[in-house]
Amino acid sequence: MKLCYLDLYSGVSGDMLMGALVDAGVPQDPILEALESFQMKARFEFVKVRKKGIAATKFNVISEDASPHRHLSKILSMIDAAAIPDGAKARAQAVFQRIGQVEAAIHQMPEERVHFHEVGAVDSIADIVGVCLGFELLGATKVIASPVNVGTGTVETAHGRLPIPAPATAELLKGIPIYTTDARGELATPTGAALIAALANDFGAMPAMSIRSIGYGAGTKELPMQANVIRLVTGETP
């Protein structure tokens, strides 16, 4: 059995997952080609960075998109028209539908009326589609994740200042083990929470495995006491 273990000691976001996948050996060209098929006003790149001395891969979106707010139906139709495999397409649409359900419940409105704010922006669309495609290319039989470090403090959102984890993030992480440390700021984003909930089969400590590859995906923040990275480990059961 091919396993994938995600070490989320510095939280989880879409760009961190993207970077970790490529750093672990998933080819970046099919991902970039898929994202370019959306014909959004953006370009995408993977760059090498260092976080607390650890070499990692950072996924960047350089966008000129002037439409940060989109309805769920628009995003689903964009994914449906994109040149990506059916499996990744279905998973990405399911992730957005789950986010739509959560937002509708929080704001007490029908799903079709929900405006996607941060998650509707081009970078989040790229993160969700790219990660779903990346995991399909990875070909892991089972994905296991550690408990999620969500951070502490408050975060500024389109709805004002909110406690961490923000309401949508907390709802998306229901049933998933989470914790917090003295690392201040939002470490688990709504996009990251939605992806980990959709992708992980189980949560807990690293299982017994023969390691085949290790990748580090970098986040944007600089944390004072630890590297802001996700560690992705692939291997096989002994």
In tens digits, the chain (238 residues) has pLDDT values of: 899 999 999 999 999 999 999 999 999 999 999 999 988 888 999 999 999 999 999 999 998 766 557 778 888 899 999 889 999 999 999 999 998 888 888 877 766 666 665 555 788 899 999 999 999 999 999 999 999 999 999 988 766 788 999 898 999 999 999 999 988 899 999 999 999 999 999 999 999 999 999 999 999 999 999 999 999 999 998 7
Q: Which residues pair with 19 in a beta bridge?
A: none
Record the pTM. Answer: 0.93
Is the distance from CB of 116 to CB of 130 less than 8 angstroms?
A: no
Q: Is 169 helix (H, G, I), strand (E, B) or coil?
A: helix
State the DSSP code for 200.
Answer: -
What pLDDT is attached to residue 111? 65
Give all strands (DSSP E) within 25-77, no chain letters. 42-51, 54-63, 70-71
